[in-house]
Amino acid sequence: MTVLIRLMLGSACRRALSAATLAGFVIATAAAGADRTVQTPSIFAPASAPAYAIRELTLIVFGITGVIFLVVAGLTVYAIMRFRRRRGDDGREPPQVYGSLQIELAWTVVPILIVVVLFLVTTRYIFAIEGRPPAPEALEVTIVGHQWWWEIRYPKLGIVTANELHVPLSDPARPTPTFLTLQSADVIHSFWIPQLAGKMDVIPNKTNRIWIDPQKPGGYVGQCAEYCGLQHAGMLLIVTVHSREDFAKWAAEQQAPARDDAGVRAGRELFSSLSCINCHAIRGTTANGVFGPDLTHLMSRWTIGAGVIQNTPENIRAWIDDPASLKPGALMPAMKLSRGDLDKVTAYLVSLR
């Protein structure tokens, strides 16, 4: 897991991620009522119907291409051994064969047939995955790719969050799939959670759809899979699959209005007077910007900057002070606040649980 996260996060971000941060991340995942560990996102460890189908197809393709490899490599090794130079060879060129209709037909028709078989098998799987209509009980989520984070909206539940997708477990006996509508606010991104579904491009001015039906509770990680600028590697996706009850609990918490803690009023007023509110929304306040992540329940998330750094008060303070020091290229400007104001705004944001 450590290796994976480090690979996923760009080298610039790696500096910001200490071993302690990673340990904290794994523990936080565990505390969320999920599995004890976050699984490595291998397509060979699927947990959702589209991912099972992709593994099946991969094994079929590996099987066919493996046989081809064995035949070709076997014949090559045989030819090398059987016809190698021996002592006493006369040094003449062996007989050359030109224009054999049989041989040429064989090496044209057989590969074409293999390609047709691979094409048909793949098409069958693609249609089987894409043809599934959204069931009435399906959860609808809209994901908007941004440079460089993921906006996550639950239109029917009235929830808006960022970078961390929460979905209910889908029991095969009583399926509750999640249908994702993918949109982009700027450039082409690609949504990919290897254990749950295939990759799907996230394209400006085009809406793509994908679905997942996670059959094992736990945490899953994914990553933007289409180069989208400097922080392409800083677009981590964290998925938590909850039991039905836990998901309802999470949704209720997210639906609650932002906390209005009297102790941090000064910070709240300061925040409302700053340009923060042009980009960020906090439900129930004058902050209703849409360019940056919704902060209504900021502290319910494990990371800030889409997986770049763990979500702690110290890191929030450092982020407000200068996001680029943690995530070079981040579009949020350094807020240039006085130390006192920085403390007030941090205290307010940290109260948003």
Binding positions for ligand CUA, rule: CB under 6 A: 145, 148, 189, 224, 226-228, 232, 235
Q: Which is nearer to ligand CUA, 13 or 53 (CB)?
A: 13
CB 290 → ligand CUA: shortest distance, Å? 18
- CB closer to ligand CUA out of 233 and 318: 233
Least Å from the CB of residue 307 to ligand CUA: 12
| Phi, psi of 236, deg, nearest 5 | -75, 145
C-beta of 230 vs 277, nearer to ligand CUA: 230
User: CB of 188: closest distance to ligand CUA in angstroms?
Assistant: 8
**335 contacts 319 by C-beta, under 8 angstroms:** no
Give the nearer residue to ligand CUA in terms of CB position, either 165 or 224: 224
> CB of 136: closest distance to ligand CUA in angstroms?
32
Using the minimum distance from each CB to ligand CUA, give the nearer residue, 227 or 291: 227
> Shortest approach of ligand CUA to residue 150 CB, angstroms?
8
> 186 vs 321, which CB is nearer to ligand CUA?
186
Nearest by Cα to 218 from 192, 240, 187, 196: 240
Q: Which two tokens stand for residue 273?
A: 């007077």
Q: Which is nearer to ligand CUA, 235 or 251 (CB)?
A: 235
Minimum distance between the CB of residue 199 and ligand CUA, rounded to whole angstroms? Answer: 11
For the chain, first and last CA: distance in Å? Answer: 27
Closer of 163 and 351 to ligand CUA (Cβ): 163
Kindly state the smallest distance separating residue 146's Cβ from ligand CUA, in Å. 8
Yes or no: say if 189 and 224 are a contact pair by the CB < 8 Å rule: yes
Q: How far apart are CA 274 and CA 307, in angstroms?
A: 26
Residue 148: name the closest of 232, 213, 250 by CA: 232
Minimum CB–partner distance for residue 154 and ligand CUA (Å): 21
Q: Min. distance of Cβ 234 from ligand CUA in angstroms?
A: 9
- CB nearer to ligand CUA: pick between 54 and 306: 306
The whole-angstrom separation of Cα 109 and Cα 150 is: 47
